[in-house]
Structure 1
């Protein structure tokens, strides 16, 4: 039994030992798994970072290379036994001695090392590597192993060399440039200057480095014409252009200064020649347009042909006024003249002789008028004419603006007839002063400048009316009668001008602006074709011609709009109705417009077969106007055609912001945009409504959740249509 117990005990002990051994084996396998995963992570990290590693055992001359290191040297992993001799055989012959020296030094000092070497791939390709390593000692401190990492820097090396070459070329360009070149940091300090600085500004390039650029450019670094300072303090006119350039130390500013002393002298000489030519041309124009006209007036008066002399005088006056406007434009006075710019050095010398009038007692209730004009003849003629008119008294005359203010304060006239161009103080300066010293006075400007140039300026300063010199005296009487309706002044009714615009009052600035853009494009196209026809590709030439044609058509369309608006204001818009399939017309119109423009989606609901007697050209014009507005202000548009009893309706809708409440009445007005920016002259809806009415129909605005315009047209024309 004892033996049985011993056997059982031994078996239990063995079972316990087996379990312990099994647990240790499981733990070892788990540790091996963890090590394998770490090794996989290490290999993946090397592959991703393109970094290889090595562990060289010096005593056995065996080298443990990572897979990535084999690839860096141009071989498959494990392709050879990586001994030290095999390693040296792959190093570029010119670098082997350097590598041996680095390794020997590290072994002697048992220290870390880093190096850069070129290697040869099997295909002969040269690659550049960077390495870092260290010598690991044994227990006695003697070198035992060399471990390290290595990575390929071929591309980085090539990039650095390219930057170096670029920097060298940049330096060569700076030094060979014909202009002064300054390289500045963001604070405006000079980092570098070329030798041209010495010959132009007298500075040594090295002397200016580190100093602010304002020492040579007091006005700062601004592109364009400015003045530079020489080292001796004298001025030099220069043209400056700047640009930002990427450099090794970051982005810098390169400034190029060109001495324009000679150019300025040449420009001044050219300007003198030009001025002489302009004066000669002006003298010839004065002879042709004024002197000859005045001679004709004298001859007509000698013959007693007073009506013809008056007509010739009006023609000569208009020619002189046009010349004056042209001269102001050439002098750079494209807009209105400002107060003080009309002061002249000497007044006009009179040639008419009149015996001074006998003093007369003031007439009760007469309108008391002060005349202010430096021209003696003008004052005389105004006085003579106003005295023949019932209800006027000329209470004083002034020869300049300052005297006019003084007399107005003394005499307190009802009205002042005021010239603009006078000595001492011009009319624009005098207007607010007259209103200050004589409250309630009415000022009528009578000037040689045409209305388009000076009327707005005079009215803004406080004048109540503006007349051009040369108009009939009755025009002055009419204005005074308008300003003083309670005085019972005689007022002649002006005959209606058959050529008037019927209240259209064209906005000339707007018309000129709209025509200038396509005209500028056409001019640019033609200039390019003229100057570069022999070097432009045929495709480019064709594109320029097409662009010119498009802009020419745009100008033609603008002129058609102006013409239509003028006819519409007289009720003379021509329409030529004919039986037309309106649905097909609408579909083709929308299709053509969408094909020639980049527009948002346009949905069309127009069944064919709805025939009406309309002018297809004019209806297409209305649809184009309405649809153009819809896509300009909305993101989608809808067009529909539906019968409506004895009429049909064409609706054009959009999802835009719509017409502001309370402004519907302005919508169809002339030159109306409701304050919205954009192309066009604001005549589209005005003309469209008039075209609808010329057909016997109407154009209205409907609010139905969208902005909807409704064009109503009769199916049949019961009476003749056309000019209304």
Structure 2
């Protein structure tokens, strides 16, 4: 018996209700993960092993058996001492004494974990299969040998106004109008009788009563012995395609009329060979050849040899119907006259064949007029650019420097007043204890105010520097020479200036500045402009605040250069973008206000400093910008750079 119970994963138990003792078979102990020698089982032991989420239901089932004279029959989970969870099926009945009071309860417990897992796996498989069917936009169905639906997808249900589950067991007669249902059932009978696939075009009336056309493929379903046990089918709505076919025939007639009457030269080319298939009267007049000559000689009879490759590359490859445009190509008439033409082309389908439709326009006069206008405009811009720029910069400098002078003077005065006020505040605190000033404790005020004053003074200094840079932009002072500069200090100033942007874009910004970094040779403000630009580009490339930016400095004494590296964990750049990175007016951020001048100006500044600006990038893995600057030549009386730069 014990061996049979073990094979069936079925144990038995006997609960003495009055004495609260529970006798269990060895298999019952094994199911609960217990050893018969470990403990004397009781009702409480059994309840404690029941999964907490199922305990209430099990208790109610036992109470119903005891008091309502019902059979105990329940599936629930239990938790073994080692923490593993099993599914069991418990059955039992109550034995009562002569008065009808419960005396004993006997029953069985069966481990059904494997069955439950199998059922869940089958349920998931069915869900996955249905999801695959529902993902198909065409109508899909399966039927048994009596043409009753076994399964349909969501598209089928939507077409007839039923939920897929509600269609199971129904036939076409329950779903479609009688004439259509009879037609569909005849198809099923033909497929099952022949055991072969059929393809047909049939009408369908959808849930809104619209009559459409579907292309249907129906196939037999065989069992293991090769007997047909049903059918399966897939149907696609081809109503629009049929309407297009009809419209295409009508449009071909209209196309021929438009083709001949168009004032632009039009030629039709074979997609593969580029032979001329047809040409209109305007093409004959433009090139000087008649239609037959053009078709015999091909497009190379009038396209200049230097532009052959341009025309061939412009025509899309097979499978691509993207329109193309050649702004200007050189053409030669039959009499040798050269002209400039533009070509608008696209791939069209005529009689089930793809051809290249080319509209050719003579733009010789237009090009000459545009070139003359561009030359005139360029001369005017050149004559007025520096004058306008000088006036603009002078006005900006005047408007900014005046209030900035007040800021500088007042900041210094406020700083003096603050330092004179500190003893008074300390005395007041000594006599009266801590107090609030401006909404903050005096201790916090003493720490914050010097930083605020420093920020005002540094901001004013930055304004002056910006104004000076504008002046330099309009009128470079050739008398100025490069001086020794602290690269570390420039990087730290850039971080201070960009502190708002840094906090806006990332939570992981880090400086890794080399100690005892030698001074570099250059102009501090211009290098600061470059560093700010590189950091801003790095910040704007980040996908989120979880990605970071690292700015580091180092010195290569052998190469006699200082290195500034800005590394981001951003989106990276493709090789195509990298090639154009420092081109003027090239930007990947035009829609966000980018001008495409930042990196171009930065590259020019670094070149003027006899340095280098290089980029390394991989799409999805970030970008590294590396700047090198020459180390300043140290004079005998020059003070060495402090630690940290």
TM-score scaled by length of structure 1 = 0.28
Larger radius of gyration: 1
Higher strand fraction: Structure 1 or Structure 2? 2
TM-score scaled by length of structure 2 = 0.31
Higher relative contact order (CA 8 A, sep 6+): 2
